[in-house]
Chain A
Amino acid sequence: MHSPMEQFEIKRLLHLNLFGIDASFTNSSTWMIIAVILATAVFVWGMRQRALVPGKLQSVAELGYEFIAGMVRDNVGDGGKKYFPFILTLFIFILFCNVLGMVPYSFTPTSHIVVTFAMAAFVFVGVTLIGFARHGVHFLSLFVPKGVPFALLLLLVPIEIISYFIRPFSLSIRLFANMLAGHTMLKVFGGFVVMLGIIGGWAPLAFIVVFTGLELLIAFLQAYVFAILTCLYLNDAIHLH
C-alpha cells in the first residue's frame, strides 16, 4: 500500500537547470499554474458581462472581491487601499491551491513549507520595507513598548524583536501544517478502508466523508487566516500602534 506521505512527493516533469540551480518544472508548479489560470478565469470570464444583477460566476467573483475589500477596510483602514490587489491575489491564490488540493489525484502546493514560507517571507519583507518607507527610523519604535521602565526595556526589546521575526515562520507553518496534516489524515483513513475491507471499512469511509467537508472548511479558513494576518501586519507597519 502507498505510504500516506507519497502524495506530497515532488516529481520533476520537465528537467531544467538554470546556472547550476535545479529549476525543473514539477507537479507542484503545474498545480500552481492551474490555480492561477482557474482564478484568472473565474474573475475575467465571470466579470465579462459586467451585469448589474450578477450571474453565478460573477457572484463568486464579486463575493471574493467584497470579502477581501471589507477585510482590508476593517483591519488596515484607508492606508490599506493601495495594498488591496496584493492581498486579494494572495488570498485567491492560496484558496485555489488549497481547494484544488482536495480534488483526488491532485497535488497541494501549499502543503510544502517552501511554498508557504516563500509567500510569508515576501509578506514579511514587504511589510518591513513599507514600515521603513513610511516612518523611516521611527518604525523601530514598534519594538519599544510604551510606559515601561528603562531597565525592563533591556529585556523586552529583544523579546519584541524576536516576536517580530517569528511572524513569517508562524504564518508559513500554520498554512503548511494544516494542509499537510489534513491530507495525511485523509490518506491514513483511506488506508483503513482498504485494510478493513467490505465488512469493517464503512466506519472509516463515513469518517472520510465528514472529514472531507471539514478539510474544505479548513482550506478556506487557512487562506482567510493568511490574508487577515497579512492585513494585521500591514496595519502594524502603517499605523505603528
Chain B
Amino acid sequence: MTNPPKDADPEGVRRGVEEMDAKLRAARAPNPKPRPNEPPSNVMSHRQTSVAYRILVDMIAGLLVGGFLGYWLDRWLGWAPYSLVTGLVLGFVAGANNAWRAIRAYSKDAAVTGSGGDDGNRRLP
C-alpha cells in the first residue's frame, strides 16, 4: 500500500486536531482590551452612529406624521390652525418618546457589556 488512508495513524490525527483546536481558540479569542493609558478613541463606533441615526429619524418622522395628521384634520374639519399645532406638538413628543426608548435600550445594553462600545461582531452596529 503506497498511499495509506488518513486515519491509519490515529495518534497523528489527534495531534493534528488538537493543533487545529488551539489555532481556532486563538483566532476566536476576543480582541485584547485597549490599554488603560491609551486615550479613548474619538471615532464613534458603528453602533453609536447607528443609534444616533435612529434617534434623528425617529424625531423627524414624529414631526412629519404629527404635522401631516394635523394638516389633514385642519383640511377636513376646518380647525385651522389648531389641529396642525396640536399635531406637531403631539408628533414631536411621540417621536421623542420613540427616541428615548431607543436610548434606554442602548444604555441598558451598554451597561451589560460594560463598555458601551462595540461588543463583538454579531451585534456590530
Given contacts A160-B97, A221-B46, A221-B50, contact A170 B57 (CB under 8 A): yes
Q: Is A174 an interface residue (CB 8 A)?
A: yes
Q: Are A221 and B90 in contact (CB under 8 A)?
A: no
**Which residues of A sit under 8 angstroms from B94, Cβ to Cβ?**
159-160, 162-163, 166
Q: Please choose the segment from B6-14, B62-70, B73-81 that sits at the chain A interface, where 4 or more of its residues have CB less than 8 A away.
A: B62-70
Determine the distance from Cα of A177 to Cα of B90 in the docked complex, in whole angstroms. 23
Docked-complex contact A173 and B46, CB < 8 angstroms: no
For residue B85, CB closer than 8 A to chain A, the reply is: no
> In this assembly, does B93 line the interface, its C-beta being within 8 Å of a C-beta of chain A?
yes
Within 8 A of B (CB), among A198-227: 217, 221, 224-225
A165 interface residue, CB < 8 Å from B?
A: yes
Residues B62 and A166 in contact, CB atoms below 8 Å apart: yes
How many residues belonging to A are interface residues under a CB distance threshold of 8 Å? 23
Q: How far is the CA of A162 from the CA of B87 in the complex (A)?
A: 10
Residues of B near A166 (CB, < 8 A) are 58, 61-62, 65, 91, 94-95, 98
Contact A174 B95 (CB under 8 A): no
B33 at the binding interface (Cβ < 8 Å): no
A67 interface residue (CB < 8 Å to B)? yes
* Minimal beta-carbon separation of B103 from chain A (angstroms): 14
Specify which chain A residues have a CB less than 8 angstroms from the CB of B108 in the assembled complex.
none
B47 and chain A: residue at smallest CB distance: A221
Q: In the complex, are the beta carbons of A225 and B50 less than 8 A apart?
A: yes
Say yes or no: is A85 at the interface (Cβ < 8 Å to chain B): no
Residues of B with C-beta under 8 A to A174: 53-54, 57
Asked whether B17 is an interface residue with its Cβ less than 8 Å from the other chain, the reply is: no
Is the CB–CB distance between A162 and B65 below 8 Å? yes
> Which residues of A are found within 8 Å of B57, using beta-carbon distances?
170, 173-174, 177
Please name 17 further chain A to chain B contacts, defined as beta carbons within 8 Å, in addition to the given A167-B98, A170-B60, sorted by A numbering. A159-B94, A162-B62, A162-B66, A162-B69, A163-B62, A163-B94, A166-B62, A166-B65, A166-B91, A170-B54, A170-B57, A173-B61, A174-B53, A174-B54, A174-B57, A221-B50, A224-B125
Residues of chain B having any CB pair with chain A under 8 Å: 46, 50, 53-54, 57-58, 60-62, 64-66, 69, 90-91, 93-95, 97-98, 105, 122-125
